[in-house]
Structures are given as structure tokens and as C-alpha cells.
Structure 1
Amino acid sequence: MKKIRTISLSLAALAAMTVAGGAFAQSAGTFQVRLGAIHIAPSVSSGDLGPPSLPGSKIDVEADTQLGGGITYMVTDNIALDVPLALPFKHRIKGDGAVAGTGELGHTRSLPMSLFGQWRFGEANAKFRPYVGGGLTYAKFYKETASNTLSSITGGSPSVPTTMSIQSKLAPTLIIGMVYSINERWFVEAMVGKTFIKTKTTLSTGQTIDARLNPTTAALSVGYRF
């Protein structure tokens, strides 16, 4: 987290040093690249772990922040295509409901891959341009690791520990954001998005649990257009 904050502050300082007069064009044919921090916070609605298990055994998923950014192409003066990019996220999975307080049940890596369309308000040379948009996100889950706690509540043993697998899913995403031009080339961008995703976790014991993750994504970055 400290590393991400340091990089973001350094980028902001670099952009501030280049402030100069000129147009702030985000016109058709313009490419924009950006770098900053991305925070993903799941809003989990969990089903119950399948039997045999304690009734009401549910899960929760913690948030994570990583270095990220993206590439944007202005198709017209108002329509843009955007591809967000980020390092993989690591999410801790905790017990909830009847097993709340048991601690970490496991963790997983996730790599969201998205393509968004945006409508940017205002003129191409406006200094401040809010936007709305949406698209599709493919949430790739991998390197799922179960804890000893999960093994203990699902009947696993040290010799045959419980393992888990999380389904990767394609889901819709809605976004809102803004771009503030520092000068002709440099800009600051902020974005908030909501992805609507339901997935299933399958344990090596045969038990399954469904959960709506519906994460909120927040990103703050410094960018350069050319």
C-alpha cells in the first residue's frame, strides 16, 4: 500500500511540474495512458455452505488495493473505449454467519479484465470532463488456497487438507468518472465502478457455496495523452 501511494504521489508531482498553457484536447483519435492505484472492495452476499456443515455457514471477502492504470482511445470527441489494467489482486476469504470469527478460510488471486465504453460530457478542449459508461468484466480467479481453519470445519485432515476452486465469471460493469487536464498532455483521472458478479466456490469435499461479490472499484491515476 505504501509503495502504491509513493508511486501515485510521484506521478502527481511529475505532472504538476509540467503545468503549462495550451489546449486540453480529448478529441477523436487521441490515445491516453494512465497509472495510479486501484481499490476493489467486494460487497458480498453469501449463500450457505453445502452440507455437511453448520447451518448458516457463510463467507466474506476482504478488499485489496494494487498498482493499476489503463489505456483510452477517443473514437469521437465524446465517445471513448477504455481498457483498465492492473496487477493481480489478493483477497482474503473469511468466515461469516455461523462461522464468523473463525478467521481466514483461504485466499485467492483475481485479475479483472475489462472493456468499457464511455460518454464524455463537454467539449473536447474542456479542462474538466465527467463521463459515464459501462461494459464487461471477466473476473479471473486463480491460485486459490484454503487454510487449516477451512479444513477443520469441513472435515479435512493434515494428510488430506481441503482445497477449493472459484469459478471465473463474465459480468457487467457500470462506471462514472472524471478527467481533469493539468495541461495539454497531462491529466488526473478518477473513476468509480460497480460490477455485478455471482460465482461459486467448490471444495474438494464436494461442498459448494454461492456468493454475489458485486465489488465496487475506485481508481485514481495520473495520465498522459498523445
Structure 2
Amino acid sequence: MRTIRALSLSFAALAALGAASSASAQSAGTWQARLGAIHIAPSVSSGDLGPPSLAGSKIDVDAATQLGGGITYMVTDHIAVDVPLSLPFKHSIQGAGAVGGTGELGTTKSLPISVFAQYRFGEANAKFRPYVGGGLTYAKFFKETASNTLSSITGGTADMPTSMSIESKLAPTLIIGAVYAFNDRWFIEGMIGKTFIKTTTTLSTGQTISTRLDPTTVAISVGYRF
């Protein structure tokens, strides 16, 4: 009985020490860094590409996945500032509507640059802390390429193939997520975000097409607290 009691007291002491050591795990003044995967899936609502293309010529944009992570600073025990980071995403642009089934019209790279404010529920030493938040995302589009298919439906020629440019935009983003702490240093984090963005693509032929992208972002990562 004395041995069992001694073991019980020892486990209780270890638990108390563990709680004490994690008391500042997500408290004011701490930094967190994470690394994992980010998936961006646009919810496309396309306008029509102007003449001489067929009436009802639209586009769709494929999802993309990339290595990413971020840095978080706890301003208070509940309020945090988060800056997601990632490598550029590459999206395929497909024909839709009257030009559906024509295949790839082009590609673009995108780099979302975001700053979020988070409110984290629960206590600073809690193992599981869900959060909500929001902020701004600057969606930078670059290295756009146009396919021969796009040239053929827009009047481009072999000597002057059609090229395109996508307008970069600043847009609001809402997020929800959660952090689960393995201990006072290591954690796993999941996040879902929705960005509300509408942009315009301009072709070298003078044609334009307005597109609402409104991508959903899903991220999962492993992180370390400092």
C-alpha cells in the first residue's frame, strides 16, 4: 500500500510539474513557428470572355497544394497575430462554359500574403485550443502562361500568340482552427480559411474576363513554441 501511495504521489507531483511547465505554453509574449502543407481550392464563378471568343466562354481554376507554415505571436493569453507563409502555388486554368472540354487554357502562380488576428479559446495551458479570426490577404498572381488552346479561341497567331495577365488583389479572409499541444513545446495545428476575392484577367488581344475565386484554404502543420 505504501508503494502504491508513493507512486500515486509521484504521478501527482509529475502532473503538477507538467501543468506548471505548460502554464506559459500559449501565454502572452510567446512565439510559435509551424511547418506543414497548405491546400487552396478556388470556388470559381466566372464571367464571360469577350469577343471574338464564343459567347459563354468561361474559365475554371484547379486547386493546388504546397509546403507552408507560419509564425504566431501571442499578444495576450487569448489574442494572437499570425502570419502564414508558403511557397508559391501553381494553378491550372481550364476552359468552362462554351469552351468546356478544350483543356488547359494556361497556368498561373499565386502567393497569398496574409496577416490574421486570432482569438483563442480556453486557458493558456490547455492542450486543445480552438480559435477564430480574420484579416487581410494580398493575392499576388505572377508568371502567367497561355496555352495554344487559348490562342486558338481568342484569335492569337503563331507569330503573335495570346498572352495573359491576372490582376493581384487585396481581400478579406475569415479563419477557424485549433491547436493541440503534445507538450509545452510541440503542437499540431489545423486551420480552414475563406478568402473573398474577385479579379480580372486581361489578354494581349484586349479581351478581359472577371472571375470570383473565393478560395477555401486548408492547412495542417506541426509547430514549436519558443
TM-score, length of structure 2 as denominator length: 0.90
1:156 maps to 156
- Aligned residue runs from structure 1 range 1-226, under 5 A: 21=18, 22-23=21-22, 25-226=25-226
1:5 maps to none
Give CA deviations for 1:71-116 in whole Å, capped at 9, x if unaligned.
0000000000000000000000000000000000000000000000
Shift of residue 174, structure 1, vs aligned partner: 0.1
Q: Which has the larger radius of gyration?
A: 2
SS in 1 for 2:153: helix
Shift of residue 50, structure 1, vs aligned partner: 1.1
Shift of residue 51, structure 1, vs aligned partner: 1.5
Runs of 4+ in structure 1 over 3 Å off: none
SS in 2 for 1:28: coil
- Partner AA of 2:193 in structure 1: G
**In 1, Cα distance between the equivalents of 2:154 and 2:50?**
10
SS in 2 for 1:26: coil
Q: Unpaired runs of 5+ in structure 1?
A: 1-19
Shift of residue 157, structure 1, vs aligned partner: 1.0
- Partner AA of 1:144 in structure 2: E
- Partner AA of 2:130 in structure 1: P
How many pairs were matched up?
Answer: 207
Shift of residue 53, structure 1, vs aligned partner: 1.4
Q: Unpaired runs of 5+ in structure 2?
A: 1-16
Shift of residue 163, structure 1, vs aligned partner: 0.2
**In 2, Cα distance between the equivalents of 1:63 and 1:69?**
18
RMSD across aligned positions (CA) = 1.0
Shift of residue 23, structure 1, vs aligned partner: 1.4
